[in-house]
């Protein structure tokens, strides 16, 4: 009997030891996500549990940070050599982290077929030809319009002028909003620049940014069109240099504006603050004879060079980009799909979402450069000077290009 007890005890000890060894043998994958909203935990708990079930040798530690703390926490971890394996970041942080030499190029780990599955414009985090981040959340800009006043939204600039003049004359409200007050992004100038086939900088053979290009014909025409909307056609709200995007959204909600160019978050604002207002969305208008385009803004997910678990990290990345999980993410947070296969799903084929999806193949992001905040400040001053008729669009943009090029040479 005593011998039997010892056998049972020994077997139990062996089992405990085996489980301990098994647990210690697991790869520990440390993943940081930013908090999108209150539904975040449910979405990522499900995804993490499914991943661990499929990969029992990998233990995922998910850390969720508020957006307003995320950047500084990551910088602190990097400085202390405690960077996670993977992190969700603002795409605007990618260049900063890459300049610190802490990011791992992803195109050496992910298959070309996998990368081709993304909308091309969503792959903003390329630096000198190398991909340092995958888009994980995306928004784009569209034209919101009063569907009770406008039967057919404008597709081109000439149609935009005609519709804006018509609604201004008949309904005594402002036709189109135009924000000339400094804001977190260049708003209308980038919309009209991209809608005229323009870009901010020349591209060098190695994928880096060259000289300023926003003062070429496309840029000057874009800014001239903005000036004409205000002074020639008189279809905007007065005092445009005193209004930012938020002000224009408020005017639309108040029923004082017929059209405003903004992002998908505005739909929820309208449903909450103006539930009886009749509205629709349409692709961003473009110059006659030019291809349609719009601004795309993304958040990214990156892998740190210091990670000792890159193979596990790659498994995780491939897993979370499966259509099932991307659809759940987009449904929960109201984001646009970053992969074409998800964009083709029936959920995104409603009239509302289809406007966004149809624009994505032609959408473009902001230039990814460390000097961008300075560039933006200079361009805001140029746009404001033109809108106030202090300078012509050409003079304002030529001087801005000269200042930007000189600054970037320092």
The CATH code of the domain that includes 323 is 3.40.190.10
pLDDT digits (tens, 9 = 90+) for 380-400: 999 999 999 999 999 999 999
pLDDT at 410: 82
| Number of separate domains in the chain | 2
Give me the domain span that covers residue 263: 142-294+371-409
pLDDT at 332: 81
SS3 318: helix
Considering Cα of 360, then 361, then 362, then 364, what sign does the dihedral take?
positive
pLDDT at 372: 87
Q: How far apart are CA 295 and CA 141, in angstroms?
A: 6
Residue 116, in any domain of the structure: yes
Residue 233, in any domain of the structure: yes
Model confidence, pTM:
0.79
Same domain, 224 and 305: no
Residue 363, in any domain of the structure: no
Q: How far apart are CA 296 and CA 317, in angstroms?
A: 22
What parts of the chain have a pLDDT lower than 70? 1-24, 38-40, 184
Q: How far apart are CA 134 and CA 117, in angstroms?
A: 11
Q: How far apart are CA 272 and CA 189, in angstroms?
A: 29
pLDDT at 326: 96
Say if CB 370 and CB 99 are below 8 A apart. yes
pLDDT at 132: 97
pLDDT at 2: 44
Give the residue among 175, 144, 331, 148 at the shortest CA–CA distance from 238: 175
Residue 3, in any domain of the structure: no
- Could you tell me which residues are beta bridge partners of residue 298? 138
pLDDT at 24: 56
Residue 87, in any domain of the structure: yes
Q: How far apart are CA 235 and CA 227, in angstroms?
A: 11
């Amino acid at each position: 009997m005593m011998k039997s007890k010892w056998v049972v005890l020994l077997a139990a000890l062996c089992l405990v030891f085996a489980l301990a060894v098994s647990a210690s043998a697991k790869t520990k994958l440390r993943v940081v996500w930013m908090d999108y909203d209150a539904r975040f935990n449910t979405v990522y708990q499900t995804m993490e549990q499914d991943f661990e079930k499929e990969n029992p040798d990998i233990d995922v530690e998910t850390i969720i940070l508020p957006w307003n703390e995320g950047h500084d926490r990551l910088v602190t971890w990097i400085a202390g050599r405690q960077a996670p394996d993977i992190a969700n970041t603002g795409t605007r942080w990618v260049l900063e982290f890459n300049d610190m030499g802490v990011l791992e190029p992803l195109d050496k780990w992910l298959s070309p077929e996998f990368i081709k599955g993304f909308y091309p414009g969503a792959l903003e985090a390329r630096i000198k030809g190398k991909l340092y981040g995958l888009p994980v959340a995306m928004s784009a800009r569209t034209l919101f319009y009063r569907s009770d006043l406008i039967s057919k939204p404008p597709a081109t600039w000439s149609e935009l002028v005609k519709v804006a003049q018509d609604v201004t004359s008949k309904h005594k409200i402002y036709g189109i909003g135009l924000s000339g007050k400094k804001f977190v992004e260049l708003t209308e100038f980038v919309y009209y620049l991209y809608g005229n086939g323009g870009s901010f900088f020349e591209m060098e053979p190695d994928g880096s940014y060259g000289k300023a290009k926003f003062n070429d014909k496309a840029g000057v025409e874009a800014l001239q069109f903005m000036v004409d909307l205000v002074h020639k056609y008189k279809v905007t709200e007065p005092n445009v240099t005193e209004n930012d995007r938020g002000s224009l959204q408020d005017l639309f909600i108040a029923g004082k504006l017929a059209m405003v160019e903004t992002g998908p978050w505005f739909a929820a604002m309208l449903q909450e603050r103006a539930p009886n207002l009749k509205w629709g969305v349409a692709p961003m208008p473009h110059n006659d004879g030019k291809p349609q385009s719009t601004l795309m803004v993304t958040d990214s997910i990156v892998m740190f060079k210091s990670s000792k678990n890159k193979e596990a990290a790659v498994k995780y990345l491939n897993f979370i980009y499966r259509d099932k999980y991307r659809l759940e993410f987009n449904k929960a947070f109201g984001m646009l799909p970053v992969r074409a296969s998800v964009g083709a799903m029936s959920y995104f084929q409603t009239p509302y979402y289809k406007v966004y999806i149809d624009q994505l193949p032609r959408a473009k992001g902001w230039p990814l450069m460390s000097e961008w905040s300075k560039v933006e400040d200079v361009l805001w001053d140029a746009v404001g000077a033109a809108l106030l008729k202090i300078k012509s669009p050409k003079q304002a943009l030529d001087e801005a290009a000269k200042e930007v090029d000189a600054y970037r040479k320092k």
